[in-house]
Amino acid sequence: MTVCWNLVGILVLFISALACHEKVGGDDVLGYGYKIQSVAAGADGAGLNAKLTLLRETQKYGPDLHNLDLTV
């Protein structure tokens, strides 16, 4: 179970990094990131599954994915 909580910590750090407001050349926002909707242990107990939703759209690199399923 300790491994599971360590993975939760890594996942939270990863998602936090994605959610950072990075800027290029002044006010051009690259993206706003995703919000964690749910996190659960994998079926085998060795991984994690997370459901993410988009915080805010940008068109910087094309259309955004509104919902993501992340498996670690």
Domain count, the chain: 1
Residue 15 has phi, psi (to 5 degrees) of -65, -35
Domain extent, residue 10, equals: 2-71
What span, in angstroms and rounded, lies between the C-alpha atoms of 26 and 64?
22
Exposed / middle / buried, residue 50 (Cβ in 10 Å: 0-12, 13-18, 19+): buried
pLDDT score for 52: 93
pLDDT score for 35: 92
pLDDT tens-digit readout, 26-72 = 556 778 889 999 999 887 778 888 999 999 988 888 888 899 998 88
Side-chain-side CA neighbours of 43 within 13 Å: the count stands at 0
pLDDT score for 54: 93
pLDDT tens-digit readout, 2-32 = 556 667 777 776 766 665 555 444 556 778 8
